[in-house]
C-alpha cells in the first residue's frame, strides 16, 4: 500500500513537472509571437490616435453626471431631546 502511494505521488509530481514545462514553452512561444506583432500594434496605435483623443474628452453628459455626483443631496437635521 505504501509503495502504491509513493508511485502515485511520483506520478503526480511528474505530471505537474510536465505541465510546468508545457506552460514555459507556451509562454516563450507567445512572447516570441507578441514580439513579432508589436511593431504592427504600435503602428496601428499611431493611426488611431485621433480616435483615442475623442474618447478622452468628456462630453456634456459626463460633465453633468460628475457635478451631480458630488453635489450636496440634502441637509442633516439635528433634533435635541
Query: pLDDT per residue over 15-37, tens digit each?
Result: 999 999 999 999 999 999 988 88
CA distance 31 to 41: 14
> Is 76 inside a domain boundary?
no
pLDDT of residue 64: 85
* pTM score, whole prediction: 0.46
> Is 19 inside a domain boundary?
yes
Number of structural domains the chain divides into:
1
Mean pLDDT for 44-51 is 60
**Cell 507567445, located at residue:** 30
pLDDT of residue 12: 97
> Is 39 inside a domain boundary?
yes
> Is 75 inside a domain boundary?
no
> Is 10 inside a domain boundary?
yes
> Is 15 inside a domain boundary?
yes
CA distance 24 to 31: 10
Domain that holds residue 21: 2-70
> Is 31 inside a domain boundary?
yes
Q: Is the pLDDT score of 50 beyond 60?
A: no
Amino acid at each position: 500500500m505504501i509503495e502504491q502511494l509513493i508511485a502515485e505521488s511520483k506520478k503526480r509530481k511528474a505530471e505537474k513537472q510536465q505541465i510546468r514545462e508545457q506552460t514555459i514553452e507556451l509562454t516563450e512561444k507567445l512572447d516570441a509571437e507578441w514580439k513579432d506583432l508589436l511593431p504592427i500594434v504600435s503602428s496601428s496605435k499611431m493611426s488611431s490616435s485621433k480616435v483615442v483623443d475623442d474618447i478622452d474628452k468628456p462630453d456634456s453628459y459626463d460633465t453633468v453626471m460628475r457635478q451631480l455626483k458630488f453635489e450636496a443631496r440634502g441637509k442633516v437635521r439635528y433634533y435635541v431631546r
